Structures are given as structure tokens and as C-alpha cells.
């Protein structure tokens, strides 16, 4: 059970609109829930099964907070943040290990692919269709205790043309707090400078959490 002070610090660890370049907007409000980085118990079970690791490696009872949705209408990029707080540093490290596992990008295709296909599919225009979802690790600087970026790519196909939609999942671990930034960027990958800027902002805020 988190103290009132811990809950405030955790909430304050989320990225905020001031962390983004000029022109970005925010919609919605901060919400609170249970489950590691927003995964449901079923999703967590699928991930640990895919990775062939103990179910206990993912703490589905961790307190977590989700930010408003941030967007840049000029480039149609959207970003949200989810901060999870674990009872111990060891628990947080075990959860991050499931993210950093080299098999995780492939597992996320099975875990997140159907939802992404449904979400993007609802926005398709006549004559467009979706291609196969792919994934891989993307270089990211060093932020917090540990950090990493997994990128999924969903291609939109229209005739001989293909427009990829990039979805980056950036995880930053700092002590017993973990921030997961999820960014969607159509046509071009999330700019690495923006990804690093947001990861640094998250890591800096989480350092105040003890």
C-alpha cells in the first residue's frame, strides 16, 4: 500500500505538456489503476508465457498512473505515459527484465498486434489494407537505471504504395518506478531527439521518488 506522499510523487513522475515542443496539445486527464505499465492480468500471462518466464516476473498488482494523451497535429504523432510503482527495487527490475528480453519484440507482435490492427483498421480509407505487423529494438540513449525502445511497424498498403505506422514503446526504469511511453507516428519513425527528450524528462522526475 503506497503512502499518500508516494502516490503524489508517482503521479508527478508522469511526463506533462511542458515536456513537449511548442504546438503539442493534451487531451484527457491522469487516471489511476492496477497492473504493470497498464497490462491486464491476461496480457501479462500471455507475455510471460511467450517469454517462458515465471508469471511472478510481472507484478499485475502494481499501482500505476496514466497520463493524458499528448498529440502534435502537424505530424499526427500521439504520446502517452504510464508510470508503475513496485513494492521493491527487485520487483521493478524483474518487470523491466521482461521488457529487455530479446524475445519481447516478437512477443509484442502477438500481444499488441491485433489491437493495433483494429485501431488502425478503423481509420482505413477505401482501397487501403493492412500489411503484416513487424517489430524490433530501436537504439535509445541511457536514461534512468535502465531504458530501452521497442518499435512496432504496421504498414498501410494502397496499391503499390505503403505507408508505415510506427508505434514505439519506451521503458525507463528508475529504482522501483517504471515509466512506459507509447508513441504512434504515421509515415516516419518517432524523432529520436523527441524520444530522448521525453525519456530524460521521465527519468528526471522519477529520481525524486524514494
Q: What is the pLDDT of residues 48-105, one digit of tens each?
A: 888 888 877 777 777 888 999 999 988 899 999 999 888 889 988 988 998 999 999 9
Q: Where are the beta strands (DSSP E) in 61-197?
A: 63-66, 69-72, 77-85, 129-130, 134-138, 146-158, 161-174, 177-186
Alpha carbons 113 and 13: distance in angstroms, whole number: 28
- How many C-alpha atoms does 139 have within 13 Å on its Cβ side? 4
Q: What is the pLDDT of residues 15-47, one digit of tens each?
A: 999 999 999 999 999 988 765 555 677 777 888
143: which residues sit within 8 A by CB, 6+ positions away? 172, 196, 199, 200, 202, 203
Cβ burial, residue 28 (10 Å; 0-12/13-18/19+): exposed
d(CA 171, CA 23): 25
The pLDDT value given to residue 27: 96
Element (H, E) at 159: none
Q: What is the pTM of this model?
A: 0.90
Q: Where are the alpha helices (DSSP H) in 52-189?
A: 89-100, 104-121
The pLDDT score that the predictor gives to residue 123 is: 81
Residue whose C-alpha is closest to residue 153's, from 170, 139, 140, 136: 136
Domains of the chain (ranges, CATH numbers): 4-206 (3.40.1000)
pLDDT score for 193? 95
In what helix (H) or strand (E) does residue 15 lie, and over which residues does it extend? Answer: none
Taking all residues of the chain, what is their mean pLDDT, rounded to a whole number? 88
Distance CA 32, CA 47 (A): 22
Q: How far apart are CA 42 and CA 104, in angstroms?
A: 16
- H or E element in which residue 32 lies: strand 31-34
Q: Look at residue 200 in the predicted model and tell me its pLDDT.
A: 96
Q: How far is 26 from 20, CA to CA, in rounded Å?
A: 10
Amino acid at each position: 500500500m503506497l503512502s499518500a506522499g508516494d502516490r503524489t510523487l508517482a503521479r508527478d513522475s508522469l511526463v506533462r505538456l511542458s515536456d513537449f515542443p511548442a504546438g503539442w496539445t493534451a487531451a484527457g486527464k491522469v487516471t489511476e489503476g492496477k497492473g504493470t505499465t497498464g497490462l491486464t492480468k491476461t496480457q501479462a500471462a500471455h507475455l510471460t508465457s511467450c517469454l517462458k518466464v515465471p508469471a511472478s516476473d510481472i507484478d499485475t498488482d502494481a499501482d500505476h498512473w496514466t497520463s493524458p494523451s499528448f498529440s502534435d497535429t502537424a505530424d499526427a504523432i500521439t504520446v502517452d505515459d504510464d508510470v508503475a510503482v513496485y513494492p521493491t527495487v527487485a520487483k521493478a527490475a524483474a518487470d523491466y527484465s521482461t521488457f529487455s528480453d530479446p524475445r519481447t519484440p516478437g512477443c509484442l507482435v502477438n500481444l499488441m498486434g491485433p489491437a493495433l490492427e483494429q485501431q488502425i483498421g478503423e481509420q482505413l480509407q477505401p482501397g487501403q489494407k493492412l500489411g503484416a505487423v513487424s517489430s524490433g529494438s530501436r537504439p535509445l540513449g541511457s536514461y534512468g537505471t535502465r531504458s530501452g525502445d521497442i518499435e512496432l511497424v504496421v504498414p498501410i498498403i494502397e496499391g503499390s504504395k505503403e505507408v508505415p505506422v510506427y508505434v514505439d514503446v519506451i521503458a525507463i526504469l528508475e529504482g522501483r518506478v517504471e515509466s512506459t511511453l507509447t508513441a504512434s507516428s504515421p509515415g516516419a519513425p518517432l524523432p529520436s531527439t523527441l524520444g530522448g527528450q521525453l525519456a530524460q524528462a521521465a527519468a528526471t522526475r522519477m529520481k525524486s521518488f524514494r
